[in-house]
Amino acid sequence: MTIHPKLKRWVNAMAKMCHPDNIVWIDGSSEEKERLEREAVSTGEVIRLNQEKLPGCLYHRTDANDVARTEHLTYICAKRKADAGPTNNWMHPKEAYKKARDIFSNSMAGRTMYCIPFSMGPIGSPFGKIGVELTDSIYVVLNMRIMTRVGRDVLETLNDSGEFTKCLHSKADLNADRRFILHFPEDNTIWSVGSGYGGNVLLGKKCLALRIASYLGRQEGWMAEHMLIMGIEDPSGHIVYIAAAFPSACGKTNLAMLLPPEGLKKKGYRIWTVGDDIAWMRIDTDGTLWAINPEAGFFGVAPGTNSKSNPNAMATIQKNTIFTNVLLKMDGTVWWEDGDPPIPEDGIDWRGRPWRPGLKGEDGNPIKGAHPNARFTAPVYQCPSISNRVDHHHGVPISAILFGGRRALLSPLVYEAFNWQHGVYIGATMASERTAAQYGKLGEVRRDPMAMLPFCGYNMADYFRHWLYMGTLMKRPPNIFHVNWFRQDTDGGYLWPGYSENLRVLEWVMDRVRGTARAEKTPIGYIPAQEAIDMTGLELPKGAMRKLLDINRAEWLKELDEQSEFFKIFGDALPKEILAEHESLKRRF
Ligand code: GTP
Ligand code: SPV
Ligand code: MN
């Protein structure tokens, strides 16, 4: 199917190692989709959902030990350990290839190897990159067909000598002790084995579009970021585009699809969704930063998604959607915790066991119908708020960048950096409480610079330097902000209602970009002046806004100490500009 000699040679070599019974090229056609679905249904790999209520929708369960990204099994395999940096797991490429080869050997015997040519970004876009994923999982193929642009057109663009990322995946025996997610930036190669979970196996996503792309971005002078992209259209029809980096399961999909709250509706704002997870950004010929969403689908967190919290997401997932690890209802539809009511009376849970509300496990805790990291895979084009720029080759111009995380304490609702360098420092010192999107202790606060800790394909100290450098190249860099929707009151409840109400904060952000919003200067940056955030139609308890914007000196001094500890891991590699910002902040306090 390809006329690319190097691609042919590579596919043959991988097939020789993995020994599939046959090789099938993915062309992207609808006949192909039907055929693959039929086969996956016949083996039980997926279940066809109620086609009247959820046309084109499928259901899948992963192994119970394989439900989130496994960061401890994820490696950057650069020749030199220093090039992976202190925040990444590292293995020498020779050792990594050898270890993985043992697991890949004959791993596809009795199975088919699918070759998926895919494009991250619109096909032919100067922002885009091409990959080819070889996999023995139909579930992966069906997901990649939604999440990326696949098939013939991609091969045609590759022609006989185009560059592509070599992506190899095998479920092998789904054994967690024989699972590795390996990145070889110097070889433009990804090898993933032993898993069947989204972020570990949809290799276009975190592996290529962030880890490999961040490495390429540094070499080629652009940026690959864990960011949503959205447009805010004001009543005059002008659209301001922003990008926002929040760690996994911290609200990117929700913000990107926001619907204006009742109280602000009459102002006439509209939100346009460009992307919900990844942004590739370049300085265009006008000297400003432009971004594309390299993906073509959403791989969103299901629990918590309902018609109130995210009506656009609910509308998006009514057809042609793959549901993973949610509750399967008796009528062949699906449900998850904090989904739309009513709570079903019974169903089959994400582990395939009978479920009913109130069921308790041996430990006395309630058994959930859906795994907390259960996901939906849906085409972006089905989203009512999708931007018509999603297929534009140059994307959209970015006016503001938001950083944010889950912080019960410390971080105010919103503040603005004094300038780009200060903003890079704010991003570099981001921290958030751990969520169900990755294995580890839930709720623990960890540093997560730019929400890229698990996704940076090289030494993070160099990554900070790259951010600083990009700022010097721009004629007008975006304003940088930090937001926190998750600040808690002394009783543990959230102080801010979040979701659609976040538009109030975005309005202030947008007006800051235009230079019309009032702000107060504080040691950490600019915060909204009193009454600068429009609260029409939103009644907060007395004193809540004061608490939301409070800057607690003692907490910040402790924070500064913790930042120093974090910086130590980078040693001399840490850019001096970051340390200088840290010292300035200390001085201002
Ligand atoms: P990844 O796909 O893992 O990168 O996650 P994400 O950043 O897209 O997060 P998502 O929008 O899926 O939200 C994850 C969780 O945060 C869901 O349970 C939401 O209900 C919750 N959440 C999102 N926005 C808000 C908010 O403004 N306030 C509060 N309190 N919770 C929110
Ligand atoms: C995340 O964890 O940040 C996700 C889901 O967006 S995954 O594709 O698993 O990485
Ligand atoms: Mn993500």
CATH number at residue 214: 3.40.449.10
Which of 158, 190, 221 marks a domain boundary?
221
Ligand nearest to the CA of 483: 1
Q: Is 56 left (phi over 0), alpha (psi -120 to 50) or beta?
A: left
Q: Do 199 and 262 sit in the same domain of this protein?
A: no
State the catalytic residue, choosing from 18, 57, 115, 250.
250
Q: What burial letters (b/e) apply to 272-296, b meaning 16+ CB within 10 Å? A: bbbbbbbbbbbbeeeeebbbbbbbb
**pLDDT confidence of residue 356:** 97
- Strands 129-135 and 22-25: what pairing? unpaired
Q: How far apart are CA 587 and CA 581, in angstroms?
A: 10
Shortest-distance Cα residue to atom 23 of ligand 1? 251
**pLDDT confidence of residue 443:** 66
- Indicate the residue type of 536: T
Q: Do 181 and 282 sit in the same domain of this protein?
A: no
Shortest-distance Cα residue to atom 5 of ligand 2? 199
- Which token pair is 391? 């297929």
Shortest-distance Cα residue to atom 32 of ligand 1? 251
Q: Do 408 and 268 sit in the same domain of this protein?
A: yes
Which of 172, 203, 221 marks a domain boundary?
221
Collapsing DSSP to helix, strand or coil, 509 comes out as: helix
Q: How far apart are CA 499 and CA 495, in angstroms?
A: 13
Residue 50 located in a structural domain: no
Residues whose CB is less than 8 angstroms from the CB of residue 367 and which lie 6 or more positions away in sequence, other chains included = 349, 355, 359, 360, 361
To 5 degrees, how large is the angle CA 194–CA 196–CA 201?
90
390 and 228 in contact (C-beta within 8 Å)? Answer: no
Does ligand 1 come within 6 angstroms of the Cβ of 308?
no
Does ligand 1 come within 6 angstroms of the Cβ of 253?
yes
Which of 169, 196, 221 marks a domain boundary?
221
Ligand nearest to the CA of 201: 2
Ligand 2 centroid–CA 471 distance in Å is 28
Ligand nearest to the CA of 68: 2
Closest atom of ligand 1 relative to the 486 alpha carbon: 30
Q: Do 213 and 274 sit in the same domain of this protein?
A: no
Ligand nearest to the CA of 325: 2
107 and 137 in contact (C-beta within 8 Å)? Answer: no
CATH code for position 470: 3.90.228.20
Residue of 299, 448, 455 best suited for mutating to test ligand 2, as the one with most atoms within 8 Å of CB: 299
Residue 357 located in a structural domain: no
Active site residue 250: yes
Q: How far apart are CA 20 and CA 115, in angstroms?
A: 12
Residue 393 located in a structural domain: yes
Residue 60 located in a structural domain: no
Q: Do 170 and 216 sit in the same domain of this protein?
A: yes
Residue 342 located in a structural domain: no
Ligand 3 centroid–CA 6 distance in Å is 32
Closest atom of ligand 1 relative to the 277 alpha carbon: 4
Residue 333 located in a structural domain: no
Nearest Cα neighbor of 131 from 112, 108, 158 is: 158
Q: How far apart are CA 414 and CA 390, in angstroms?
A: 28
Q: What burial letters (b/e) apply to 568-583, b meaning 16+ CB within 10 Å? A: eebeeebbebbeebbe
Residue numbers of the chain with a pLDDT score lower than 70: 436-443
Q: How far apart are CA 76 and CA 444, in angstroms?
A: 24
The number of angstroms, rounded, from the C-alpha of 97 to the middle of its chain's C-alpha atoms is: 27
Q: How far apart are CA 237 and CA 272, in angstroms?
A: 12
Residue 455 located in a structural domain: yes
Q: Do 491 and 573 sit in the same domain of this protein?
A: yes
To 5 degrees, how large is the angle CA 389–CA 209–CA 225?
75
Residue of 66, 69, 195, 322 best suited for mutating to test ligand 2, as the one with most atoms within 8 Å of CB: 69
Q: Do 258 and 211 sit in the same domain of this protein?
A: no
Give the chain's domain count: 2
**pLDDT confidence of residue 115:** 98
Residues whose CB is less than 8 angstroms from the CB of residue 111 and which lie 6 or more positions away in sequence, other chains included = 20, 21, 136
CA distance to 173, 371, 448, 506, per residue, from 255 (Å): 38, 22, 19, 10
Ligand 1 centroid–CA 316 distance in Å is 16
Q: Do 181 and 267 sit in the same domain of this protein?
A: no
Residues flanking ligand 2, CB < 6 Å: 69, 198-199, 205-206, 248, 277, 299, 437
232 and 506 in contact (C-beta within 8 Å)? Answer: yes
Query: What's the Rg (C-alpha) of the chain?
Result: 23
For 395, what's the count of Cα atoms within 13 Å in the CB-facing half-sphere?
Answer: 34
166 and 183 in contact (C-beta within 8 Å)? Answer: no
Residues whose CB is less than 8 angstroms from the CB of residue 306 and which lie 6 or more positions away in sequence, other chains included = 314, 338, 339, 340
- DSSP annotation of 439 reads S
- Strands 180-184 and 74-76: what pairing? parallel
Q: Do 282 and 431 sit in the same domain of this protein?
A: yes
**pLDDT confidence of residue 232:** 97
Closest atom of ligand 2 relative to the 202 alpha carbon: 8
To the nearest whole percent, how much of the chain has pLDDT over 70?
99
Q: What is the largest CA-CA distance in the chain?
A: 69
Ligand 2 centroid–CA 1 distance in Å is 32
Does ligand 1 come within 6 angstroms of the Cβ of 589?
no
**pLDDT confidence of residue 221:** 98
**pLDDT confidence of residue 532:** 97
Q: Do 236 and 143 sit in the same domain of this protein?
A: no
Q: Do 487 and 458 sit in the same domain of this protein?
A: yes
Nearest Cα neighbor of 204 from 127, 126, 297, 289 is: 297
- DSSP annotation of 541 reads P
Model confidence, pTM: 0.97
Residue 62 located in a structural domain: no
Residue of 71, 250, 411 best suited for mutating to test ligand 1, as the one with most atoms within 8 Å of CB: 250
User: Average per-residue pLDDT in the chain?
Assistant: 96
**pLDDT confidence of residue 65:** 94
**pLDDT confidence of residue 441:** 63
Give the structural domain span for 134. Answer: 5-43+70-221
**pLDDT confidence of residue 453:** 97
Q: Do 416 and 281 sit in the same domain of this protein?
A: yes
Collapsing DSSP to helix, strand or coil, 422 comes out as: helix
**pLDDT confidence of residue 313:** 98
